A and B are shown apart, each in its own frame.
Chain A
Amino acid sequence: MSAPVVPRPDAPAVRTGRRSALVLTLASVAGLMMFVWPLLLDPGADDGQRTDAPFLFVLILPVVIGVVVAELSEDGMDSKALAMLGVLSAVNAALRPLGAGTAGIETVFFLLVLGGRVFGAGFGFALGCTSLFASAILTAGVGPWLPFQMMCAAWIGMGAGLLPRRVRGRAEIAMLAGYGVVVAYLFGMLMNLAFWPLLAGVEVPGHDGSLAYVPGAPLLENLHTFGVYTLLTSTAGWDTGRALTNAAGIVLLGPALLATLRRASRKASYGVRGTFGDRDHGPDEGSGPVVR
C-alpha cells in the first residue's frame, strides 16, 4: 500500500458535538466573567462587601469545570482517549516541577499546546484540566488558585485545537509558537486580574496612589491601574519567561513532538470503527482513515 501523500487533518480524540460546543461556550463565558470580575464589578447602592466575590467563585468554578468535563466525557471519550489523557497529564505533571523555582520557566504549557493541536479542542480542554489537577495532587498544591489555573489551562488546550487545521510544516510551528507566546501573556494577565484585588488590595477611601483596585471605578481607569500592576509585577519576569519557554519549547522540540504525537494518534485511530461483513474483500475506501 502506498502511503498517503496529502497530510490529513488530525482526527479528534474526543468527539465534540453541537451540545458540547454550547456547554463549552457557556462555561467559558461564565469562567471568563469570574476572571475579569474586578472590571465588571459595580457595587451599586447597597453593601460594599462584594469584593469577596472571588471567594464565591472559587466554589463555583469547579462546578462549571466539572459540568463541561462531564459533558465532554459523556459525548464520547473512549478508553483510548482516556488512556492518552492520563499519560499526557502525567507527562505534563512531570514537566511542571522542572520549571518550578526558576523565574518564569513554565514548562507545562508547550506540550499542552501541542497535545491540543494534535488531539483536538475537546481533548485539549480536558487535558488542561487533568494536567493541572494531577500536578496539584502530586505536589499537594490544591489551593484557591487551582480552579482558575485549570480553567486557563483548559482554554489554552482548547484554543490550540481550534487553530486552523490545514497549516503544516514550518508554518505550523511558527503559528503554534506565536500562539504559545500570546497565551503565555494572556494566562499571566487573567490570573493576575482575578487575584489582583486580593494581592494588591482594595482601595479604601482616604488612601490613594497605590496599585490597588477601586471597586466601581470607570473601566478604563481600573484597566490602566491593572495594566501598570501586571506590567510591574509579572510581565517582565514571569510572563515573559513563560512566553519564551513556550516559544523555545515549540520551536525546538515541536517538530519531533508533533511527529510523535501524530504517530500515536494514527496508531490509536480515534473514531475508527471495526467493521464486520460477508464481503470477500477488504474494507471499502470510506470506512476509515488510512493508517500508517
Chain B
Amino acid sequence: MTGATVRRAGLPRDLHPGAWWLWALGLATAASRTTNPWLLLLILTVACHVVVVRRSDAPWAMAFRLYLYLGLAIVLLRVAFRVLLGGDTAGTVLVPLPTVPLPDWVAGIQLLGDVTAEAVLAGLYDGLRLATMVVCLGAANALANPKRLLASMPGALYEVGTAVVVALSVFPQLAESVQRVRRARRLRASGGGRVNAVRTIVVPVLEDAFDRSLQLAASMDSRGYGRAGAAPRRDRAVTGTLMVTGLLGVCVGVYATLDGTAPRVLAGPVLAVGLVVAAVGFVVAGRRVERTRYRPDRWRLPELLVVASGVGTAVVLFLTSSFDPQDVYPSLTPLTWPPVATLPLVGVLLGVLPSFVAPPPLRTPASGSRATEAVR
C-alpha cells in the first residue's frame, strides 16, 4: 500500500453502512455469549466510544441516546420482575419480604417473597446482556446511513428497497400536506365532532398521496424502472426451487434446533444449508436485472478492518464460551465474584478498532436550505 492510498483512506467519508452493521452485529453476538457483567460493561463502553468518535451529525446519529435509555429500562425491568415475582428462593437474603399468594387460577405464582442477592444478580446479568445487544444495534443505527444501506440492498430486494426509499421521501411531504389541509379545514368550518375532523383531514391527504403515487409510477415506468425485469421461465423455476428448498431446510432446522430429542444433524447443519440455499436463490433472483449503482459504496481496507474487529470479538467470545464457560457465565450458585479473564477481555477490546481505522465521518456544512424552506 502506498502512502497516497493511506492518506486517501484517512479522508473524511462515510464508511460503508454494511461494515458498521456487521461490526455491530459482531459485538451483539459477542454480548449474547456472555452474562459476565464486566465483559458486558466493557462491550457497552466500546460501542459508546466508537459511536461518539465516529458518528456524523445526521438525525439518525442523534438517536443513540434513546437506545441507552432503552437499555437501562430493560435492566430495571428484569430486576423488578425478579423482585416482584420472586417467590421463595433459597440464597443470600438481602431484604426479607413476606410472600403474597395469588388465587388459584394463577397457581404456582407468588408475589414478592425474600429478595435474594442471587435473584437480583440473575436479573441484572440477563438484563444487562439484552441491554448490551440493544445498545450495539443502536450503535449501528447511529453510525450507518440508512439511505446508503438501502442503496446497497441485494438485487433481489431492489423493488422493496425502492418502495422504502419512496416512503422515506414521501414522508415529509405528508406532514406538509396534513398541515395544509388542517389549515384549509378551518375555512370550511365543518362540524360533526372529532371523528369528522379526522376524516376531513385524512381523506384529502390520502387522495393527494394516491394521485401522486400514480404519477410517480408513470414517471418510474418512463424512466426505465423494471427494464428487462421479466425473467425467463427457466430462471424463475431455478430461483423458485432454490427458495422453496431453502425455506424447507430452515423450517426443519429451526424445529430441530428447538427440539433436543431430534437428531443433531437436523439442527445446525440443515439450518445452515437451508439458509445458504435460500440465500443462493436470493442472489440468483437479484441477478436477473441489469442495474448499476451511482457512486456505489465500495469495500475498502477500513471497511474490512471494521468488519474484522466485530467478527473477531464475536469469535473470541464464542470460543471462550465453548471452552471456558465459567469465564463468561459467572456462577450464581454458589455466589461468586465474576472472574476477569484475559482472553475474552482482549477479544472485546478488539471491537474498539474502528475508532482508529474508520475514516472520520462527513459533516454536513450549514446550508441555506432551512431558510429557503421557511420563506416558501
Contact = CB atoms under 8 A, between A and B. Distances in A.
Do A and B interact with each other, yes or no? yes
Contact of A144 (B86, B113, B137, B248): B137
Contacts, number: 301
B281 A67 contact: yes
Q: Using C-beta atoms within 8 Å of the partner chain, give the interface range for chain B.
A: 35 or more
Contacts of A158: none
Given A210-B86, A210-B87, A256-B203, A82 B159 contact: yes
B243 A71 contact: yes
A206 B141 CA distance: 40
Given A23-B244, A93-B167, A211-B109, A70 B285 contact: yes
B259 interface: yes
Given A83-B217, A138-B171, A33 B254 contact: yes
Interface in B234-274: 236, 239-240, 243-244, 246-248, 250-251, 254-255, 257-261, 264, 271
Contact of A87 (B77, B213, B251): B213
A265 B338 CA distance: 62
B287 to A, nearest CB: 11
* Residue with the highest number of chain B CB atoms closer than 10 Å, among A42, A94, A210, A228: A210
Nearest to A27: B247
Interface in B285-315: 285-286, 288
A190 interface: no
Contacts of B250: 30, 60, 63-64
B260 A74 contact: no
Interface in A261-285: 261, 263-264, 267-268
Given A69-B160, A86-B165, A91-B174, A74 B285 contact: yes
B68 to A, nearest CB: 13
B155 to A, nearest CB: 9
A58 to B, nearest CB: 9
B168 A260 contact: no
Contacts of A199: 74, 77-78, 81, 130
Contacts of A70: 156-157, 160, 243, 282, 285-286
Contacts of B82: 201, 210
A219 interface: no
Nearest to B194: A252
A142 interface: yes
A74 B70 CA distance: 38
A42 B159 contact: no
A209 B85 contact: yes
Interface in B112-153: 113, 118-119, 122-123, 126, 130, 133-134, 137-138, 140-142, 146, 150
B174 A50 contact: no
A155 interface: no
A174 interface: no
Nearest to B153: A66
A207 interface: yes
Contacts of A37: 254, 258
A171 interface: no
A173 to B, nearest CB: 14
A213 to B, nearest CB: 12
Interface stretch (B180-188, B219-227, B339-347): B219-227
Given A74-B285, A138-B171, A86 B166 contact: yes
A4 interface: no
Contacts of B251: 26, 29-30, 33
Given A26-B247, A86-B213, A142-B137, A66 B156 contact: yes
A179 interface: no
Contacts of B90: 206-207
A236 interface: no
Interface in B202-222: 202-203, 206-207, 209-210, 212-214, 216-218, 220-221
A263 B207 CA distance: 9
A223 interface: no
19 contacts: A26-B244, A26-B247, A26-B248, A27-B247, A37-B254, A40-B255, A40-B259, A60-B275, A70-B160, A70-B243, A83-B216, A83-B217, A84-B217, A89-B163, A143-B134, A208-B88, A252-B198, A261-B206, A264-B214
Given A87-B166, A204-B122, A260-B210, 15 more contacts: A19-B240, A42-B260, A44-B260, A50-B257, A83-B216, A83-B217, A87-B213, A140-B59, A143-B138, A207-B118, A208-B108, A209-B85, A210-B81, A211-B109, A267-B214
Closest 4 CB pairs of A and B: A44-B260, A209-B87, A86-B166, A140-B63
